[in-house]
Amino acid sequence: MGKIAFVFAGQGAQYAGMGQSAYRAFPAAKALMDKAESLREGTLPQCFSAPMEDLSLTVNAQPCLMAVGCACAVALVENGVVPDGLAGFSLGEIAALGMSGIISFEQAFKLVMKRAEFMHACARENPGGMAAVLKLSDEQVEALCEAHGAYPVNYNCPGQVVCAMPEDTMQPFAEAVKAAGGRALPLKVSGAFHSPLMKDAAQKLKDYARTLTFSEPDLPTYANATCGLYTAKEAPALLSMQVDHPVRFTKLIRDMLNAHYTDFIEVGPGTVLSRLIGKIGGADYIGHAEDEDTIKYVISHYREGTAC
C-alpha cells in the first residue's frame, strides 16, 4: 500500500451548514472547532447558520474553511486514518500547515485571519476578477494572458487554468479565449488572487509570518508555489509567495504521485479537489471527508479495505 495524503480545499468550497454534522459526531472535530470559536468569536455560527452572502466574504470564508477542514482531518486521525503527507489548495495550504506541526493550530488559525484581512484589503485597493479557462493548453492560456494583461494563477488540471486580471480586462480576455477555441467562465470571487495584484497582501503576510516561530514539520507538507516541501526556514517566504504566485496544483499532485502517494483524501467542504485529482490521474484511491457520513465512509474504507 502506498502513502496517504490529506488535501485541503481553498476558498469557494464553503457552503451554509458546513462542519455541523462532523462537530456533532466526532469529539476531536468538536474540540478543534470550539478552539477556533475561542480564537475568533462567531466562527461556529458562521459555519453552521450564516447565509452564503456573509459566509463567502473573504474575511469569514478563510477562517471558517480552515476550521472545518482541520476538524474533518482530526476526526479521521482519531479514528485511525493518519496521513503520511499534506497539501492544500490556496487557503487550504494554511490548514495543512496547522496539521503539520510546523506551527500550532492556534498560530495557523491566527495566520489565516491575517491572510484573509490582508487579501480582502488588497482586493478592495486593486479591483480584479478571475475566470476559469477550459479547452486550451497551458501554453495557449499563458500566451493569451501575456497578450491581454491577465495572469495564469491556478493550474488546476490538464485543460483547466484559472486566470486573474483587473476588472476591465475580464470581457476582452473572455472574447480572446473564445476566439482561440476555449471557454472562459467567470468565478464568483472578490479579487484577483494569486496574481501580482496581491503583492501588498503578500508582503504584509511575510512580515507577519516573520513574527512566528516555525518548527520542522512532523509531516511532509507541499507548497503551492514551488511544489517543494515546507521547512521552518523557508516558511515565511513560501507563505508570501502563496498569495501572489500561481497555485501549481497539477504539478504538485504529480510530484506527490512520484513520491509514492497513492491515496488522496480531500478533507473539508466540497469535492472540487477530488475531481481535479481524478482528472490529473494516477491515484489508487480518491476520497473526501466533509461530514459525518463521508468521514465514516473513509474510515470504513481503511478498516475494511472496501473498494472505492
DSSP 245: S
243 and 202 Cβ atoms separated by less than 8 Å:
yes
Determine whether 90 is an active site residue. Answer: yes
Give the whole-angstrom CA distance, residue 261 versus residue 218. Answer: 17
- Single out the catalytic residue among 56, 100, 194, 195: 194
- Single out the catalytic residue among 56, 90, 100, 195: 90
78 and 50 Cβ atoms separated by less than 8 Å:
no
- What's the number of CA atoms in the CB half-sphere (13 Å) around residue 290? 21
Long-range contacts of 203-209 (CB under 8 A, 24+ apart): 203/240, 204/114, 204/118, 205/111, 205/114, 205/115, 205/118, 205/239, 205/240, 205/243, 206/236, 206/237, 206/239, 206/240, 208/111, 208/114, 208/118, 209/111, 209/235, 209/236, 209/239, 209/240
Comparing CA positions, the residue from 299, 288, 260 lying closest to residue 1 is: 260
Q: What is the identity of the amino acid at 60?
A: N
Give the whole-angstrom CA distance, residue 184 versus residue 249. Answer: 19
Residues catalogued as catalytic: 90, 194
